[in-house]
Amino acid sequence: MPTSTVARVRQAYARIAETDRPEVWITLRPEADVHAEAVRIDARTADGADLPLAGTLLAVKDNIDVAGLPTTAACPAYAYTPDVSAPAVARLQAAGAVVLGKTNMDQFATGLVGTRSPYGAVRCAHDPALVSGGSSSGSAVAVALGIVDLALGTDTAGSGRVPAAFQGIVGIKPTIGLIPNVGVVPAVRSLDCVTVFARTVAEAQEAVHLMVGPGCPRSRGWPADAPLAAPPVPRVAVPDAPLPGLTPAWADAFARTLDRLSDAGAVLVPVDVSPFLEAAELLYGGAFTAERYAAVGAFIDAHPLDTDPSVRAIISPASGLRAHALARDVERLDHLRARALAALTGLDALLLPTAPEHPTIAEVAADPLAVNTRLGRYTNFVNLLDLCALAVPSGEGAFGVTVIARAFADHVAADIARLLAPSPQIPPAAPALPLVVVGAHLSGGPLNHQLTEHGARLVGPVHTAPHYRMYALPTDPPKPGLVRVEAGGHSIEGELWLLPPAALGHFLAALPSPMTLGRLLLTDGTTPTGFLCEPHATTTAPDISPTGSWRTHLTTTTP
């Protein structure tokens, strides 16, 4: 990334001219305005301001408010100009990101193709004959073309994932409610998510973390037991039978991707995915379209000539739905959710292709509703079942896969995605408490599973200040006892882990005598919680302090 925001802005506008993709944008800010904002960001950075996204350019889907720029939802007759930005946008701007403009989309966020817009069909970044995927089409293409670093989309049926797959980039659809939807034109209010496109998992994760927080009636915070990491050997559900609709070439690509994931250390577990796929059919094939009508149906009925025919054909008929039809589908979904979550028992995530095919723009024009329906086969169920998802390229051209996990297991999905799309680790966003371990809970140790089973994340090696003595306790399994002393102490090597807060309470409740939890003083002056030992238990135990490390003691002890 360039060293200054100003340099990044110059690069972006040069790239816009070079790529010549005007259909990507609905509103592109004048370069002079963006340059002036970049100058201010660089000046604040020079003055020492903490702006983690300084030098980052952002594109925003045009159903998300940016102060002073029109919000059209790809319908000019619907346009309004907000005075304030949506919280999701404002939080990224507060971190130093500069908005380049508002991007094209499937009208009213209804579609997975990227062609349902009066501003033109958004073409795939890599092959203009192919669809870009929707509804967050322009945002995904702006990232794939290298014009912006991050882009916001929305996702109700797969709009933050299908465009990512077709462009070969990363798309994160977080758990519903983590990012507020205020300032977002609703599609299905109870299911909508603000999503992020980026080139790496780490970049997308950082943006999500910055946007998380309260701000709307449906906001949800991280629970105390939200896992912070995937286990060292994740167990990933995969289909136990051929997927319906998957093209032969992409079926082969998916098989190769599964081999790569297995080679990377995951355990693949075949499961019946039919309840997931059946739930997907409810999003458009049932009464849930009533929420789309509640959002924009009256406007569409009043402005038939200003709306896309395919969008109108989906939303307007929902005016005739009866309340009992929605109640029936809610009950059916409850049964499907129970079956789907039961299929994931003991597993960390589900891996599916993001889309079954990559159609051409001409194919969509010939049969717009049927092609769009096919593209949602593996995505439509995710929000209905309250799951999180992360789409990543698989190294197979436009073919990509999605890691799908339970609500609030966003960090688990990201870690598994990294097995296919390597990316730096970043600190978790969910609440976390530090814990220092020096013995049997170390990585590879016999009790380490007690950490990983609770979703703990390894931070790295640490050393205590030289105020401790360590003893080899006669326990099963063997473990050390760490005691703080006034004089004659040693620095002891350990590991720092982050635990979900609920997990630390579990450790305290289950801790066997003579072990205790207390504050440890580390060489950097911090005092995280760590494992200590009651002094009385060390009176006859061998003093192994000079080794400085439990691992060293184990490797030097004669069997």
Query: How many domains does the chain divide into?
Result: 2
Q: Is 61 a catalytic residue?
A: yes
Average pLDDT over residues 494-500: 98
Same domain, 117 and 58: yes
CB of 387 closer than 8 Å to CB of 407: yes
Tokens of 236: 């990933």
pLDDT given for residue 12 in this prediction: 98
Q: Among the residues of 47-186, which ranges form H helices?
A: 87-94, 137-144, 162-167
* 473 pLDDT above the threshold of 50: yes
Stretch 21-36: mean pLDDT: 98
Q: Looking at residue 173, what is its pLDDT? A: 98
In a domain, 547, yes or no: yes
For residues 406 and 463, state if they share a domain: no
Sequence length of the chain is 559
Same domain, 398 and 451: no
The mean predicted confidence, pLDDT, of the chain is 97
In this prediction, residue 540 carries a pLDDT of 95
Whether 504 is in a domain gets the answer yes
Spell out the residues 6+ positions from residue 416 whose beta carbon is closer than 8 angstroms to its own: 230, 234, 236, 261, 266, 348, 349, 351, 403, 405
Q: Is residue 45 part of a domain?
A: yes
Is the distance from CB of 114 to CB of 107 less than 8 angstroms?
no
Report yes or no on 285 lying in a domain: yes
Catalytic residue status for 159:
yes
Q: Are residues 397 and 447 in the same domain?
A: no
Question: Residues 85, 117, 132, 135: which is the catalytic one?
Answer: 135
What is the per-residue pLDDT for 245? 97
Q: Are residues 315 and 392 in the same domain?
A: yes
Instruction: Quickly list DSSP for 484-553.
Output: E-SSS-B--EEEEEEE-HHHHHHHHHHPPTTEEEEE--BTTS---EEEEE-GGGGSSS-B-GGG-SHHHH
Query: What CATH number did the domain enclosing 271 receive?
Result: 3.90.1300.10
Confidence class of residue 131 from pLDDT cuts 50, 70 and 90? Answer: very high
Q: Give the CATH number, domain containing residue 500.
A: 3.10.490.10
Q: Which amino acid is at 109?
A: A
Question: Which amino acid is it at 451?
Answer: L
End-to-end CA distance of the chain: 54
Per the annotation, the verdict on 479 as an active-site residue is: no
pLDDT of residue 211: 98
pLDDT in the model for residue 504: 87
The pLDDT of residue 512: 92
Mean pLDDT of 116-127: 98
The answer to whether residues 409 and 537 belong to one domain is: no
User: Exposed, middle or buried by CB within 10 Å (0-12, 13-18, 19+), for 102?
Assistant: buried
Predicted confidence at residue 508, as pLDDT, reads 85
pLDDT at residue 1 in the model: 42
> Which pLDDT band, with edges at 50, 70 and 90, does 559 fall under?
low
* Predicted TM-score (pTM) of this structure: 0.96
- In-domain check, residue 469: yes
Distance CA 480, CA 43 (A): 53
pLDDT at 28: 98
Asked if residue 515 and residue 386 are part of one domain, the reply reads no
Asked if 414 and 441 sit in the same domain, the reply is no
Note every long-range contact of 77-83, with CB atoms under 8 Å and residues 24 or more positions apart, other chains counting.
77/303, 77/306, 78/185, 78/296, 78/299, 78/303, 78/306, 82/183
- In this structure, the answer to whether residues 267 and 370 fall within a common structural domain is yes
Q: Which domain holds residue 520?
A: 433-556
Q: Which helix (H) or strand (E) holds 100?
A: strand 98-103
| Contact (Cβ atoms closer than 8 angstroms) between residue 15 and residue 147 | yes
**Does the pLDDT value for residue 195 go beyond 90?**
yes
In the predicted structure, residue 491 carries a pLDDT above the cut 80: yes
Q: How confident is the model at residue 558 (pLDDT cuts 50, 70, 90)?
A: low
Q: What is the pLDDT of residues 319-377, one digit of tens each?
A: 999 999 999 999 999 999 999 999 999 999 999 999 999 999 999 999 999 999 999 99
DSSP H helices, 244-396, are 248-263, 274-285, 289-292, 298-302, 309-315, 323-343, 361-366, 368-375, 381-384
- Asked whether residue 336 falls in the same domain as residue 273, the answer is yes
Dist. CA 255–CA 243, nearest whole Å: 11
If pLDDT is split at 50, 70 and 90, which confidence band does 505 have? confident
* Residue of 137, 139, 159, 394 marked catalytic: 159
Asked if 446 contacts 476 with a C-beta cutoff of 8 angstroms, the reply is no
Per-residue pLDDT reduced to its tens digit, 312-324: 999 999 999 999 9
Q: What is the structure's pLDDT at 2?
A: 45
Structure token digits, residue 25: 């944008």
- Of 277, 276, 259, nearest to 268 by C-alpha is 259
- How far, in Å, CA of 89 to CA of 432, rounded? 26
